[in-house]
């Protein structure tokens, strides 16, 4: 397989979106690197960045340029090697300028799908609706008769896309995590119909992009969302249960704190749902609910959506309000759906009462960030969960139930044939969600 040749003409559809822009950057930088290799000097590298939204495409160009500058400045020494046989470019500044111009000139932004005619690899990152994806792929298969299609769908079965768009097995799930240039994980989802050569190319591209590849079977939600959605549903159900005694705002705060501090995760479950977007959570729930024999629609999510509280990010990356309101990434208030307004945190008032109701964290507690690179991480995790197992506080009880539910979800993903093995589940949660430990573990049994 001549992978460099396949990478000479690539298209990203939905290129100006959250995921599409990161995928575009990642590919354009790799294509720029390839274009500098002596064996590729005669080749033209071109990435058609297709999106319906012309304004967002303008933003994509700015984003690609700004990020290419950052990459070039960070890797100036490595770049010098790539430019070794260009005596005309001597100063770092000249090399950086050439590299940035090269990355930018590879990206051809367009609102016309027809512009990507003849592309060899097509990455799709449009809205999470199977009907729309199938319609777009039907168009693409005529425009790019030899292309292999990599869909970034978070939950739609790949076999269904193949069937509806009649792609003849030329499609595979290539599920980047957000943001694609930073996140190492790519879940690879091969449908029964996916051709061997498509799977081979997907693996080669993933390795070329220096990603950690974890295979998942073609079951709606795959491993990542298979765990995340059910884990979220547990948190939502716990909050509803606690709300009876403590009030909704207090209950959301409790579950969020427990799932962050007691479970030692990078963020609490409600903050994570806000980050992903409450509407995106709902899209994924719906797809999974439709395809799996399991009731996965949550009434609180429905209510938040009907109230227009959606989370997600502003174009500048700042967090929009959802279950919480944020300032500079920090939670400042909690949404009260009855009053339809946010209730500010009160460290001396109701927030302190929540802390008191949960009880103290285990002695010697170190947060997620402190343990991330700690050499004694395993021992620290064991001590932390041993303490939780023996505590009789509300916080410890909620944490035990949460860890146990997370483990059940992970184990079911293996037993139901979604993941290939426990390592696959643990790998997705540790590399894609930055958990310190996989859900299938011996902690807190
Ligand atoms: N956001 C995440 O965290 C995340 C993570 C992993 C996977 N995904 C998946 O990636 C895909 C995209 O998600 P997103 O969050 O980037 O969405 P987004 O809404 O930010 O971007 C979608 C882009 O597609 C464009 N678009 C829509 N229809 C189009 C069409 N017919 N032709 C061309 N462009 C079109 C839109 O203008 C928009 O720019 C979805 O399938 C989603 O499930 C998202």
Listing DSSP states for 273-286 in one string gives HHHH-HHHHHHHHH
With a cut of 90, say whether residue 60 has pLDDT above it: yes
Pairing relation of β-strands 341-344 and 330-336?
A: antiparallel
Q: Which one of 15, 16, 19 would you pick to mutate in the ligand 1 pocket, going by the greatest count of ligand atoms within 8 A of its CB? A: 19
In which band, very low, low, confident or very high, does the pLDDT at 444 lie, cut at 50, 70 and 90?
Answer: low
Give the whole-angstrom CA distance, residue 299 versus residue 236. Answer: 9
Q: Which one of 12, 14, 22, 232 would you pick to mutate in the ligand 1 pocket, going by the greatest count of ligand atoms within 8 A of its CB? A: 14
Distance 124 CA to ligand 1 centre (A): 8
Whether 437 is covered by a domain: the verdict is: no
Same domain, 271 and 359: yes
Same domain, 205 and 320: no
Q: CB pairs under 8 A, 24+ apart, for 25-29? A: 25/63, 25/64, 25/67, 25/68, 25/180, 25/181, 26/180, 26/181, 26/209, 27/123, 27/209, 28/64, 28/68, 28/103, 28/104, 28/106, 28/107, 29/68, 29/71, 29/103, 29/181
Segment 176-194 shows an average pLDDT of 96
From 187, 216, 245, give the residue that closes a domain: 216
Please identify, by atom number, the ligand 1 atom nearest to the C-alpha of residue 283: 43
Whether 443 is covered by a domain: the verdict is: no
Segment 152-160 shows an average pLDDT of 96
CA nearest ligand 1 atom 7, residue: 154
Range of the domain at 30: 3-216
Whether 439 is covered by a domain: the verdict is: no
Same domain, 111 and 192: yes
Same domain, 148 and 294: no
Which pLDDT value is given to residue 78? 85
Whether 295 is covered by a domain: the verdict is: yes
Handedness of CA 45, 180, 228, 52 (dihedral sign): negative
Which pLDDT value is given to residue 111? 98
CA nearest ligand 1 atom 33, residue: 51
Average pLDDT, the chain: 96
CA nearest ligand 1 atom 8, residue: 154
Q: Which one of 20, 61, 277 would you pick to mutate in the ligand 1 pocket, going by the greatest count of ligand atoms within 8 A of its CB? A: 20
Whether 444 is covered by a domain: the verdict is: no
Same domain, 235 and 253: yes
Could you tell me if 429 and 435 are in contact, meaning their C-beta atoms sit under 8 angstroms apart? yes
Q: Is 53 in the pocket of ligand 1 (CB under 6 A)?
A: yes
228-261: per-residue pLDDT in tens? 999 999 999 999 999 999 999 999 999 999 999 9
Q: Per the structure block, which two tokens stand in for 73?
A: 């400045």
Same domain, 184 and 208: yes
Same domain, 11 and 128: yes
128-147: per-residue pLDDT in tens? 889 999 999 999 999 999 99
Segment 13-18 shows an average pLDDT of 95
Same domain, 229 and 323: yes
Enter the DSSP assignment of 120: S
Which pLDDT value is given to residue 445? 67
Same domain, 175 and 241: no
Which pLDDT value is given to residue 443? 77
Same domain, 330 and 194: no
CATH number at residue 180: 3.40.50.720
Please identify, by atom number, the ligand 1 atom nearest to the C-alpha of residue 111: 33
Please identify, by atom number, the ligand 1 atom nearest to the C-alpha of residue 151: 41
Give the whole-angstrom CA distance, residue 122 versus residue 73. Answer: 29
Q: Is 126 in the pocket of ligand 1 (CB under 6 A)?
A: yes
Which pLDDT value is given to residue 442? 81
CATH number at residue 392: 1.10.1040
Whether 442 is covered by a domain: the verdict is: no
Which pLDDT value is given to residue 211? 98
Q: Is 23 in the pocket of ligand 1 (CB under 6 A)?
A: no
Question: Domain count of the chain?
Answer: 2
Q: Is 277 in the pocket of ligand 1 (CB under 6 A)?
A: no
Report the share of the chain in percent with pLDDT over 90: 92
What is the pTM (predicted TM-score) of this model? Answer: 0.94
Which pLDDT value is given to residue 1? 78
Same domain, 25 and 115: yes
Q: Is 50 in the pocket of ligand 1 (CB under 6 A)?
A: yes
CA nearest ligand 1 atom 39, residue: 17
Distance 13 CA to ligand 1 centre (A): 9
From 181, 216, 251, give the residue that closes a domain: 216
With a cut of 90, say whether residue 433 has pLDDT above it: yes
Same domain, 428 and 291: yes
In which band, very low, low, confident or very high, does the pLDDT at 208 lie, cut at 50, 70 and 90?
Answer: very high
Which pLDDT value is given to residue 91? 84
Q: Is 154 in the pocket of ligand 1 (CB under 6 A)?
A: yes
From 195, 216, 237, give the residue that closes a domain: 216
Q: Is 178 in the pocket of ligand 1 (CB under 6 A)?
A: yes
Distance 410 CA to ligand 1 centre (A): 27
Whether 62 is covered by a domain: the verdict is: yes
Which pLDDT value is given to residue 75? 87
Q: Per the structure block, which two tokens stand in for 228?
A: 């995340």
Whether 272 is covered by a domain: the verdict is: yes
Q: Is 16 in the pocket of ligand 1 (CB under 6 A)?
A: yes
Q: Which one of 12, 18, 221 would you pick to mutate in the ligand 1 pocket, going by the greatest count of ligand atoms within 8 A of its CB? A: 18
């Amino acid at each position: 397989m001549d992978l460099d040749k396949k990478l000479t003409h690539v298209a990203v559809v939905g290129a100006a979106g959250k995921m599409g822009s990161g995928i575009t950057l990642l590919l354009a930088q790799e294509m720029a690197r390839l274009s500098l290799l002596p064996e590729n000097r005669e080749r033209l590298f071109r990435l058609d960045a297709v999106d319906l939204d012309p304004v967002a495409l303008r933003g994509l160009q700015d984003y690609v340029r700004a990020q290419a500058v950052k990459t070039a400045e960070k890797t100036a020494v490595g770049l010098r090697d790539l430019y070794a046989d260009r005596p005309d470019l001597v100063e770092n500044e000249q090399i950086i300028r050439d590299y940035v111009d090269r990355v930018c000139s590879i990206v051809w932004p367009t609102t016309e799908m027809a512009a990507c005619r003849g592309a060899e690899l097509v990455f799709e990152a449009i809205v999470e609706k199977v009907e729309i994806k199938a319609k777009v792929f039907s168009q693409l298969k005529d425009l790019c008769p030899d292309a292999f299609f990599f869909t970034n769908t978070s939950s739609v079965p790949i076999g269904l896309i193949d069937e509806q768009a009649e792609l003849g097995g030329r499609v595979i799930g290539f599920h980047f995590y957000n943001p694609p240039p930073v996140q190492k994980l790519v879940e690879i989802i091969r449908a029964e119909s996916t051709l061997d050569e498509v799977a081979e190319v997907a693996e080669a591209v993933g390795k070329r992009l220096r990603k950690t590849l974890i295979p998942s079977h073609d079951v709606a939600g795959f491993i990542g969302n298979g765990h995340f959605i059910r884990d979220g549903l547990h948190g939502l159900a716990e909050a509803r249960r606690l709300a009876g005694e403590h009030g909704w705002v207090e209950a959301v705060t409790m579950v969020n704190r427990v799932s962050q501090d007691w479970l030692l995760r990078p963020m609490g479950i409600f903050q994570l749902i806000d980050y992903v977007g409450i509407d995106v959570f709902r899209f994924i729930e719906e797809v999974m609910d439709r395809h799996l024999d399991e009731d996965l629609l949550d009434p609180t999510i429905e209510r938040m959506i009907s109230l227009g509280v959606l989370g997600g990010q502003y174009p500048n990356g700042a967090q929009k309000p959802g279950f919480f309101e944020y300032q500079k990434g920090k939670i400042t208030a909690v949404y009260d759906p009855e009053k339809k307004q946010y209730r500010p945190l009160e460290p001396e008032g109701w927030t302190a009462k929540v802390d008191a109701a949960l009880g103290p964290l285990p002695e010697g507690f170190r947060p997620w960030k402190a343990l991330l690179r700690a050499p004694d991480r395993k021992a620290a995790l064991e001590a932390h969960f041993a303490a939780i197992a023996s505590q009789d506080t509300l916080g410890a009880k909620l944490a035990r139930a949460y860890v146990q539910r997370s483990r059940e979800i992970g184990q079911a993903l293996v037993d139901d044939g979604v993941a290939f093995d426990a390592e696959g589940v643990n790998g997705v949660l540790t590399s894609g969600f930055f958990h310190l430990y996989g859900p299938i573990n011996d902690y807190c049994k």
